[in-house]
């Protein structure tokens, strides 16, 4: 089973309130944009020389929070009943 097959087993309950917030002013001054390299589902992407973020589909691994050394990311677990549900098949 490849990674795409494994990810397809997961169930996402997307909340209208994001559990991750990115300060775009701080983020725009980041010299290395490590978040765009480490997110396993590529929720951080560079578009028109800006980092664009989407919390939907987040695996809640916390890697972005650990790697961001600029203080641009505020990371919390999703509210109860929301977020990812891992289903192993």
pLDDT at residue 63, rounded to an integer? 96
Listed in sequence order, the residues at least 6 apart from 39 whose beta carbon sits closer than 8 Å to its beta carbon are: 63, 64
Q: What's the pTM? A: 0.79
Place of tokens 């010299």: 31
pLDDT mean across residues, the chain: 88
The number of beta carbons lying within 10 Å of the beta carbon of residue 17 is 10
Q: Is the sign of the CA dihedral 50, 20, 34, 7 positive or negative?
A: negative
pLDDT at residue 66, rounded to an integer? 96
Question: 3-85, what's its fold?
Answer: Alpha-Beta Plaits (3.30.70)
5-10 contact pairs (CB < 8 A, 24+): 7/41, 9/86, 9/87, 9/88, 9/89, 10/59, 10/84, 10/85, 10/86, 10/87
Tens place of pLDDT for every residue, the chain, 89 residues?
666 676 677 788 888 999 999 999 999 999 999 999 999 989 999 999 899 999 888 999 999 999 999 999 999 999 888 888 877 65
């Amino acid at each position: 089973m490849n990674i795409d097959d494994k990810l397809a087993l997961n169930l996402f309950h997307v909340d209208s309130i994001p559990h991750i917030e990115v300060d775009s002013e701080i983020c725009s001054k980041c010299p290395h944009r490590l978040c765009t390299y480490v997110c396993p589902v590529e929720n951080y992407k560079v578009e028109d020389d800006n980092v664009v973020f989407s919390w939907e589909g987040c695996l809640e691994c916390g890697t972005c929070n650990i790697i961001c050394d600029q203080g641009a990311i505020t990371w919390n677990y999703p509210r109860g009943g929301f977020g990812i549900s891992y289903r192993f098949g």
